[in-house]
Structure 1
């Protein structure tokens, strides 16, 4: 839209002349705004134009679709904190252990306290940083109220836990992880629910769909989980390990836990056994799923990690997905080469000339030069013991540099 049309839409006169129109154009020319207070009537005109074109904050405001949190009053929290500090300071046993450097801190207790206080708020900020809410729920977000414990079983008794965006390789995620959460607690009050609860767990990858960049790949779908017992849930889609292609970098695996109002019929999302490796049948949209069932379920838990290609995926593509393994490479544009000059000043003569020659011919000459000084059985000839002690006289500067590189074993010839 032109500036005159914008003025007409704003109710202003596009036929302004003189100082008013000139100052207004100068104040907004080329997308820049004059700093400070604009002179005269231009200030009011500029304000009116900006008010007409400003973005409505109610339209772009983000919506919290999660559970609220009931907190104690500030005075009650402060009272508990002061009582805890008083008990710590009056404990003679703690003082003796601290003075003798024998005080041991229970890290598991620290982790539990962190999760109950600020851990889930930090998880929400990290999810925003990684674009989880933007790519799954659009302009909506939620603060996780139910902590998820997700661990991949490795060889022996070792586990690969899912933290807030840590890296887990596909070789470590070949089997379904062990998931646990407090399913009998009310996400709002944190107290026992007093009745049976049902949950839905969805694991998807917003970066793995081949044909639709806005869709997700469904990796796991378990519905109607009773009282937090994941093994008793209704598996609608079996677990599919992550398969990030080679050359595309990291992908995100996201686990979202929903709290159901009651048992739901989600049979439309049932994936047949024969379609286990059918990626088109695993097309999924978290936003569409939530819009369809937002009256019956509410997001309550979140966990995610990153994964990238490793050597185990080559066999996975051939044996499980039944397709050729894709490999992506960067297609770098050819470097810019200026027109050749008759006198290339301040540039090595031989390197400058090589830029305008066929690169295959240059590579061949360097390889022949290297092989000419290499014995087929004894290897390359021995270098000079003191290469810098031998003077180089009566040669151009560019050739002197080339000879010095050959003696020191540096330069382009060593790349072949």
Structure 2
């Protein structure tokens, strides 16, 4: 018996090894087991064309490895002490640490490390938040210019914009303060866009602010192409990204086609595409810096829609799928009958029943007295009642099941 089993296994291994590119069925004591030597079944494997179609790659999403900005250059270390420490190998550093001869401020080391590698770090942040994917079709750039943007909340307090921090819509009512280091003879373009806020097209953006031909860092002297508009993330749509992009111009650009009417609040006119805007002017401008913040709906958004945009505030709610219940049986054995029947009732009827039970203990003019030992009183009150009713009342006292939010 053992000899025949060994012979059978030897033949099976020989068959598998002789068919490295096939799916071989091997018989075991428990049945058939499919050995995947290479690839998948035809009904599960997809061709390259099918995978590209699933990813919905377009002409905007094929340049993921293209640097459309300035080349990466590392900032040299200015501190000679830190530079000397970095040049030492690990053995020498370990010896200095053990002898207590290495004394250096770690904060200075962190600052120096950030200054040296911040361009690469900021590029990774841009990829993490999908800035390059959604605004430039996957092409990336290294931020060479540090954007210092902040919102003035009051006369003494300001809220800075970093790279993904949270800011409430009510705090963005005023035009932000923008600062960056630039030569007075240079020209720049500043853009603020919302890639997540469009109400009709998921691939479109809303333009919140656009200033072109900025001399140096004086935003007020630039050509205002689109007036600033407070952010308005719609209720029920989660967090929205709001991105500032700074472009370096090679010469003065004619933005006649990109200019919006003064004080325009039309969402149709503010429908925007950063990719198309950059594609139109790519010969004369280069992205040089960015920062962004996130925001979620608050009460100020309603005022923006009603008083600035002149429209009703839209609101979105998640539509939960209808829960699946098997076909109802006439005699469901080993099932608590009240809970079983509740599964096939309309949830509105259950909520109405819970509300009526709650209103029985609420008086409009008297404060409800808190029961010191509610479970003991419940036990005495429903003594002799069926178990299903006791469990139901316990859930009501403990705020479980249907009474969880009551």
Task: Please tell me the TM-score bracket, short chain as reference.
Answer: 0.7 to 0.9
Q: Confirm whether residue 315 of structure 1 aligns to residue 303 of structure 2.
A: yes
Q: Distance in 2 between matches of 1:70 and 1:374?
A: 71
TM-superposed CA distance for 1:84, in Å, is 8.6
Secondary structure of 1:304's aligned partner? strand
> Following superposition of structure 1 onto structure 2, how do residues 247-258 of structure 1 map, counting pairs within 5 Å?
247-258=236-247
Root mean square deviation of aligned Cα: 4.1
Q: What is the aligned counterpart of 1:263 among 249, 252, 273?
A: 252
Change over 3 Å in CA distance of 1:21–1:315 after alignment to 2:
farther
Which aligned pairs between 1:226-305 and structure 2 lie closer than 5 A? 226-273=215-262, 276-305=264-293
Q: Say whether the 8 Å CA contact 2:305–2:311 is kept in structure 1.
A: yes
Name 2:71's counterpart in structure 1. Answer: 68
Q: Is the 8 A contact 2:150 2:159 kept in 1?
A: yes
Q: Deviations over 1:363-390 (max 9, x none)?
A: 4444444444555654657747474485
Structure 2 runs not aligned, ≥5 long: 1-14, 25-33, 40-45, 53-61, 89-99
The answer to whether the Cα contact below 8 Å between 1:201 and 1:255 also exists between their aligned partners in 2 is yes
The aligned residue for residue 356 of structure 1 is: 344
Shift of 1:119: 2.0
| Equivalent-residue separation in structure 2 for 1:358 and 1:66 (angstroms) | 58
Name the residue aligned to 1:324. Answer: 312
Correspondence 1:347 to 2:332 = no
For each residue in 1:286-327, what CA deviation from the matched residue of structure 2 results, as whole angstroms up to 9, or x when unmatched? 111211211111111111111111101111111110010111
| Deviation (angstroms), 1:401 | 2.3
2:83 counterpart residue number: 81
1:335 and 2:359 correspond: no
- Count of aligned pairs between the two proteins: 353
Alpha-carbon distance, 1:339 to partner? 1.7
State the SS of the aligned residue for 1:179.
Answer: strand
String of CA shifts for 1:326-375, please: whole Å, max 9, x gaps: 11111112211222223434432222223334544444444444444555
Q: Tell me which residue corresponds to 1:127.
A: 126
Structure 2 Cα separation of the partners of residues 132 and 289 of structure 1: 15
Measured in 2, the distance between the counterparts of 1:310 and 1:51 equals 45
Contact 2:243 2:291 in 1 (8 A): yes
Query: Structure 2 matches for 1:98-177, cutoff 5 A?
Result: 113=112, 116-177=115-176
User: 2:200 corresponds to which residue?
Assistant: 211
C-alpha separation between the residues in 1 aligned to 2:73 and 2:370? 79
Distance 1:218 1:257 in 2: 14
Q: How far, CA to CA, are the matches of 1:377 and 1:73 in structure 2?
A: 75
CA distance in 2, matches of 1:372, 1:73: 75
Q: 2:189 aligns with which of 186, 200, 206?
A: 200
Cα separation, partners in 2 of 1:143 and 1:273, compared to 1, 3 Å: same
Unaligned stretches of 5+ in structure 1? 1-17, 43-48, 87-94, 185-194
Partner of 2:23: 26
User: Is residue 401 of structure 1 aligned with residue 385 of structure 2?
Assistant: no
Give the TM-score, by structure 1 length. Answer: 0.72
**TM-score between both structures, scaled by the size of structure 2:** 0.73
Q: CA separation in 1, counterparts of 2:70 and 2:395?
A: 69
